[in-house]
């Protein structure tokens, strides 16, 4: 049993009783078999003993977390839904907060509920030196102020950059041509983001590409390797993790490349990982387009309308007119998005309205993979409906504003980011931000935008640390999809199903090896 406790967590962040009595006669064989697996998997490391949990079960639940965290989160959420409960992760117990309670937490200050501490712990910053530090505050500020506005003005330049990437790294596709889209998309997004953030001189440099693409992968491998060792061994174990040296070298390289360009040295770690989040979602959208041929027609028609004249690429509002595409991307993200969200560490004890007590030191997560399949919020959750959110936006055209409430089914009165203790910065974004807290009407009609966040909309997180790069990501993904749809037909091989995602620990990524067929469209 991996799910430990339903609610009223007035306990240390460890489970209550989940021990399974094993007859003494079988105990030796049982322990020997499971221990052999545990030893193999954990490189002879037995995790810290917990007085309530037997080592074998600990190992089993950790293995489950490693290879099927999405199923674990989805199944446990289905069971407990509106209650807080606990799960064992590879790094210890995590308390899972449902959407009905998260509103009480998302506006809390950093000294009570910390995102930075949680991220630093998850990244094992002590060894990797990757952390949500002062640099990420600067980056967040830049993203919220300058970057998104600049991007809207840069659409035309980015289109040119994408054309260049297609010309140099994409097959001609005169007839149906199989192509592994995932690796291409990583490079394409790296180039596009590089063009926006560091300019054309660096964005086309292979050295920059290599650092920016590989950085997040190297960091992920380093963290995973370190996690195999118990915390007390890590001060020594770090010297066996070669990726830690690569991280340091890559950071030095990035700084050397950036120094001539900017006075302020930013840690490139945040933007490096965003290349993967953005390219993963773009790849998922392409897999979904390949499966849902009818959506290609619908979205192409919209793109043709918006970009009827070449000058439309120069208009900063053009991309925002792609409303059906906005819905399609959000639906793709709903079904393929992250497993959990809202990673936070409790710094001061918190009592929730249902009696749940969260002692300081508790590590929190929200069950995103479960919420996305909750039929109360998303009717027919298993069905891919590319226009789901567009239809809801159409229904929302009604002029009667409704005060947001928390959380509501998507078929009923909608809400957006609605902290009980409202966090102003949680909704701060560019002026075009749908999450602006200025007018209730705007709040309502924006609930279904790809970039909207809310208690049941946590793909970009929640509260004041919600992703500030989501507006940027939206522009990039729409540009790439619109351009591809205008110029190519897309399909899977006959009889092939949608490529399956790869799940490893908390990460879910689209298949890196699947091939999609592209054929260049004849000019009309």
Q: Find the binder of ligand HEM among 469, 499, 510, 517 (CB under 6 A).
A: 469
Q: Which residue number, 227 or 278, has a Cβ lying nearer to ligand HEM?
A: 278
The three-class DSSP label of residue 53 is: strand
Tell me whether residue 467 is annotated as binding.
yes
Cα(first)–Cα(last) distance of the chain, in Å?
A: 60
Q: Is 329 in the site for ligand HEM (CB under 6 A)?
A: no
Give the β-pairing of 363-366 and 92-96. parallel
Provide the minimum distance between the beta carbon of 522 and ligand HEM in the complex, in angstroms, as a whole number.
32
Q: Is 468 in the site for ligand HEM (CB under 6 A)?
A: yes
Q: Find the binder of ligand HEM among 218, 446, 459, 475 (CB under 6 A).
A: 459
Beta-bridge partners for 296: none
Q: Is 139 in the site for ligand HEM (CB under 6 A)?
A: yes
Which region among 166-174, 301-309, 319-327, 462-470 touches ligand HEM (by CB under 6 A)? Answer: 462-470
Query: How is residue 504 annotated by DSSP?
Result: E
Which region among 15-23, 69-77, 134-142, 215-223 touches ligand HEM (by CB under 6 A)? Answer: 134-142
Which region among 11-19, 65-73, 436-444, 454-462 touches ligand HEM (by CB under 6 A)? Answer: 454-462
Which region among 52-60, 66-74, 453-461, 509-517 touches ligand HEM (by CB under 6 A)? Answer: 453-461
Per the structure block, which two tokens stand in for 316? Answer: 């900063």
Nearest Cα neighbor of 337 from 64, 66, 70, 63 is: 70
* CB of 345 closer than 8 Å to CB of 362: yes
Query: How is residue 11 annotated by DSSP?
Result: S
Residue 310: burial class (beta carbons within 10 Å; 0-12, 13-18, 19+): exposed
Q: Is 475 in the site for ligand HEM (CB under 6 A)?
A: no
Binding mask 276-305 for ligand HEM (x = CB under 6 A): -xx--x------------------------
Provide the minimum distance between the beta carbon of 470 and ligand HEM in the complex, in angstroms, as a whole number.
6
Provide the minimum distance between the beta carbon of 129 and ligand HEM in the complex, in angstroms, as a whole number.
17
Q: Is 467 in the site for ligand HEM (CB under 6 A)?
A: yes
Q: Is 362 in the site for ligand HEM (CB under 6 A)?
A: no
Q: Which residue number, 283 or 356, has a Cβ lying nearer to ligand HEM?
A: 283
Q: Is 461 in the site for ligand HEM (CB under 6 A)?
A: yes
CA dihedral 160, 161, 164, 168 (to 10 degrees): -160
Query: What is the rounded CA–CA span in Å between residue 114 and residue 95?
Result: 14
Give the β-pairing of 515-520 and 488-491. antiparallel
Provide the minimum distance between the beta carbon of 325 and ligand HEM in the complex, in angstroms, as a whole number.
14
At residue 242, φ and ψ (nearest 5 deg) are -65, -25
- The DSSP string of 388-413 is HHHHHHHHTTSS------SS--TTSS
Provide the minimum distance between the beta carbon of 403 and ligand HEM in the complex, in angstroms, as a whole number.
23
Q: Is 462 in the site for ligand HEM (CB under 6 A)?
A: yes
Nearest Cα neighbor of 327 from 448, 409, 455 is: 448
CA–CA–CA angle 477, 483, 489 (5° rounding): 110
Residue 37: other Cβ atoms inside 10 A: 13
Q: Is 226 in the site for ligand HEM (CB under 6 A)?
A: no
The count of chain residues that interact with ligand HEM, using the rule CB under 6 A, is 28
Residue 20: other Cβ atoms inside 10 A: 10
Q: Which residues are annotated as a binding site for heme?
A: 467
Q: Which residues are annotated as a binding site?
A: 467
Chain residues binding ligand HEM by CB under 6 A are 115, 132, 136, 139-140, 143, 270-271, 274, 277-278, 281, 341-343, 459-463, 465-470, 472-473
């Amino acid at each position: 049993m991996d799910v430990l406790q339903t609610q009223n967590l007035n306990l240390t962040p460890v489970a209550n009783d989940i021990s399974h009595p094993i007859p003494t006669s079988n105990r030796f064989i049982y322990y020997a078999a499971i221990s052999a697996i545990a030893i193999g998997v954990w490189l002879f490391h037995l995790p810290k003993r917990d007085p309530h949990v037997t080592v074998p079960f600990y190992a089993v639940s950790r293995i489950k977390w490693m290879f099927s965290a999405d199923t674990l989160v989805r199944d446990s959420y289905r069971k407990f839904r509106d209650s807080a409960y606990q799960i064992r992760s590879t790094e210890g117990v995590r308390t899972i907060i449902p959407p009905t309670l998260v509103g009480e937490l998302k506006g809390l200050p950093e000294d009570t509920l910390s995102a930075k501490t949680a991220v630093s712990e998850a990244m094992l910053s002590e060894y990797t030196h990757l952390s949500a530090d002062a640099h990420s505050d600067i980056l967040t500020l830049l993203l919220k102020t300058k970057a998104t506005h600049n991007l809207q003005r840069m659409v035309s330049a980015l289109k040119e950059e994408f054309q260049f990437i297609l010309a140099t790294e994409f097959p001609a596709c005169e007839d149906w041509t199989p192509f592994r889209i995932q690796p291409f998309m990583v490079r394409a997004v790296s180039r596009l983001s590089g063009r926006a953030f560091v300019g054309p001189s660096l964005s086309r440099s292979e050295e920059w590409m290599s650092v920016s693409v590989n950085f997040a992968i190297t960091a992920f491998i380093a963290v995973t390797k370190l996690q195999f060792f118990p915390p007390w061994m890590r001060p020594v174990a770090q010297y066996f993790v070669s990726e830690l040296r690569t991280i340091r070298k890559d950071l030095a390289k990035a700084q050397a490349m950036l120094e001539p360009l900017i006075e302020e040295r930013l840690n490139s770690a945040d933007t490096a990982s965003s290349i993967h989040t953005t390219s993963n979602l773009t790849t998922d959208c392409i897999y979904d387009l390949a499966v849902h041929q009818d959506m290609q027609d619908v979205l192409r028609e919209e793109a043709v309308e918006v970009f009827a004249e070449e000058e439309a690429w120069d208009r900063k509002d053009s991309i925002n007119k792609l409303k059906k595409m906005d819905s399609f991307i959000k639906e793709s993200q709903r079904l393929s998005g992250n497993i959990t969200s809202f990673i936070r560490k409790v710094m001061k004890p918190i009592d929730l309205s249902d009696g749940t007590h969260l002692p300081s030191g508790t590590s929190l997560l929200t069950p995103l993979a479960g919420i996305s399949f909750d039929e109360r919020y998303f009717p027919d959750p298993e069905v891919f409906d590319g226009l789901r959110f567009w239809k809801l936006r159409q229904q929302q055209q009604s002029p009667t504003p409704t005060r947001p409430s928390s959380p509501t089914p998507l078929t009923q009165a909608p809400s957006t980011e609605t902290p009980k203790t409202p966090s102003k910065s949680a909704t701060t974004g560019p002026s075009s931000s749908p999450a602006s807290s200025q007018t209730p009407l705007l709040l309502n009609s924006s609930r279904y935008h790809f970039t909207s966040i809310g208690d049941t909309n946590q793909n970009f997180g929640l509260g004041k640390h919600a992703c500030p790069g989501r507006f940027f990501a939206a522009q990039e993904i729409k540009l790439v999809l619109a351009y591809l749809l205008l110029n190519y037909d897309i399909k899977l091989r006959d009889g092939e199903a949608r490529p399956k995602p790869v799940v490893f620990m908390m990460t879910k990524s689209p298949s890196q090896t699947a091939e999609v067929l592209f054929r260049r469209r004849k000019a009309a």
